[in-house]
Structure 1
Amino acid sequence: MPTRVIVWGENVHEQKNAVVRKLYPDGMHATIAAALNAAEGIEATTATLQEPEHGLPKGRLEETDVLFWWGHAAHGDVSDEVAERVQEAVWSGMGLVVLHSGHFSKPFKRLMGTPCNLTWREAGERERLWLTARNHPIAAGLPDHFELENEEMYGEPFGIPEPEQTVFVSWFQGGEVFRSGACWTRGAGRVFYFRPGHETYPTYHDDNIHKVLVNAARWAHNPAPRVADPNAAPNVPVSAALEPIEQRGETLHEEGEEGFR
């Protein structure tokens, strides 16, 4: 069965900014989905902020293996209900790949439990991404480093929990560095944050970026059955085989005494 992906896009800049519209005439979400669909074993569809329930009704998320999320100008317009729905889907086993300014999105901040703040500068600077985990699946097929001629700078400190693994670190012309590819586990789901992707630059047309996105989709996919209710804490009765030590001790003592008789 293919890895079923939804690419969620805020779809605001594409409608308001001529530069973005020229770079991504069908939207960044469509460009990302096309790159994923070009890879074997991935089926990607899209959803946007403007759709009912932001295109993410509960039933659709239940049938999704990995959700990609790009947001920037309208984080506050995402409903709390949908943000919670995404959070619980990740807890249940859905993968989540958060892109660029999605670091400030409601689902990501909920899952991280931290401010997810950072320093930034939009100046069209060169970004060099270095592999810091050569054998990680997300790094498969990539060189030790690659460059984007123009990107927005994100700099440390980055207000996230310490990643379980950092796959990429970025260097910018201004001298800043940044943890640009970070992995976590949340419940039964895997989360990957990937920094590049400012809307006014052709980042999502880059072949190395496509490799990262495809690798991330495959890594984040958990093939195990979903956890039915990630919030549940069921009260499971103690079986006879696991009865309290005191009771087992008394039984053994009685048997011992019987044996001495």
Structure 2
Amino acid sequence: MTRVTVWNEFVHERENDAVAEIYPDGIHGTVAAALDDRGFETRTATLDDPEHGLTEDVLDDTDVLTWWGHTAHDAVDDAVVARVRERVLDGMGLLVLHSGHYSKIFRELMGTTCDLKWREAGEKERLWVVEPGHPIADGLDECVELPEAEMYGERFDVPAPDSLVFTSWFEGGEVFRSGCCYRRGAGRIFYFRPGHETYPIYHDETIQRVLANACEWAAPGDDPPEPTFGNAAPLESIDGDGSER
């Protein structure tokens, strides 16, 4: 069973009544419940937990970490970010959701600003499946329509993804790379754009299916091969005159 830790800064839900009404158990509670219903072993962690809930023991017991943050990126301890980064490089999957694009961990792994255009106007979004054969798009129609969403627009300052699964179109005219797959070390990373806190997007069954598909895709396989590094002995004898290589 794939073990998923659902991380959320859990600030808006406690400070904004409108957000609390949509996500009474927090965004992390809604996402964790959806994944649990689909057969994942889930736990949650939040900013105010000791070590943000991401201790070495928790991360060692995590196959995939999902990350939602918005207003408290700078409050995340750098030591925890470094710990998560090492686990990703060692093979833990990472799903970065919506405004998590500006989290310390995503910027660290991407090596760019991860900045973008945005507008909160409750406009329609069409999330187009541009790579229908990808496992993350399994079971989806050719597009997903969300009646109200926050607009994210290009340019999205990230490296070119290894695979692009979704591209969004917004009612105001912008487009955005909304489903980006990356590999860092042995770990798989998926950035998924939908999910602003004032819209019930994580209650949408199709969005929940995407999250479940992404967790399956990002989870490490059984006994992944261990690469070797450092000084290496030759596989064959090397002629001292350099004629063989």
TM-score (norm 2): 0.95
CA deviation map 1:28-79 (0-9, x unaligned): 0010000001113x11110000000000011211111000000000000000
Which aligned segments of 4 or more residues in structure 1 are displaced greater than 2 angstroms?
Answer: 224-228, 232-236, 241-245, 247-250
Q: 1:234 to 1:224 in 2, by over 3 A?
A: farther
Q: Does 1:113 align with 2:111?
A: yes
Q: For 2:100, which of 90, 99, 102 is the aligned residue?
A: 102
Structure 1: gaps of 5 or more residues? 251-261
1:173 to 1:249, Cα distance in 2 relative to 1, 3 A:
closer
Bigger helix fraction: 1
What is aligned with 1:235?
A: 231
How far does residue 95 in structure 1 lie from its aligned partner after superposition? 0.2
Deviation string 1:79-132 (CA, Å, 9 cap, x unpaired) is 000111111110000000000000000110011011100000011111110000
For 1:116-131, what aligned pairs fall within 5 Å after superposition? Answer: 116-131=114-129
One-letter amino acid of the structure 1 residue matched with residue 37 of structure 2: A
Partner of residue 61, structure 2: 63
Q: Distance in 2 between matches of 1:63 and 1:243?
A: 44
* Corresponding residue to 1:165 among 158, 163, 170: 163
**Contact residue 188 and residue 227 of structure 1 kept, 8 A:** no
Inter-CA distance 137–58: structure 2 relative to 1 (3 Å threshold): same
- Determine the structure 2 residue equivalent to 1:254: none
State the alpha-carbon separation in 2 of the partners of residues 91 and 242 from structure 1.
31
The answer to whether the Cα contact below 8 Å between 1:93 and 1:227 also exists between their aligned partners in 2 is: no
Match 2:207 to one of 203, 206, 209: 209
TM-superposed deviation, 1:244: 2.6
CA distance in 2, matches of 1:242, 1:80: 45
Higher Rg: 1
Pairing of 1:54-203 with structure 2 (within 5 A): 54-203=52-201
Opposite residue 72 of structure 1, the aligned amino acid is: H
Which one-letter code corresponds to 1:166 in the other structure?
Answer: L
- 1:249 to partner: Cα distance: 6.5
Q: Is residue 100–residue 197 contact of structure 1 (8 Å, CA) maintained in 2?
A: yes
Q: Which amino acid aligns with 2:10?
A: N
Code of the residue aligned with 1:174 in structure 2: it is G
1:234, distance to aligned residue in structure 2 (A)? 3.3
Residue type at the aligned position of 2:237: E
1-side partners of 2:221 and 2:139: how far apart? 23
Give the structure 1 partner of residue 38 of structure 2.
39
Cα 1:33–1:63 shift into 2, 3 Å: same
Identity over aligned residues, as a percent?
56
How many residues align? The count is 244
- Could you say which residue in structure 2 is the equivalent of 1:3? 2
Deviations 1:5-25 (A, max 9, x none): 000001000110001100111
Q: Which residue of 2 aligns with 1:26?
A: 25
| Pair 1:220 & 2:208 matched | no
Shift of 1:247: 6.6
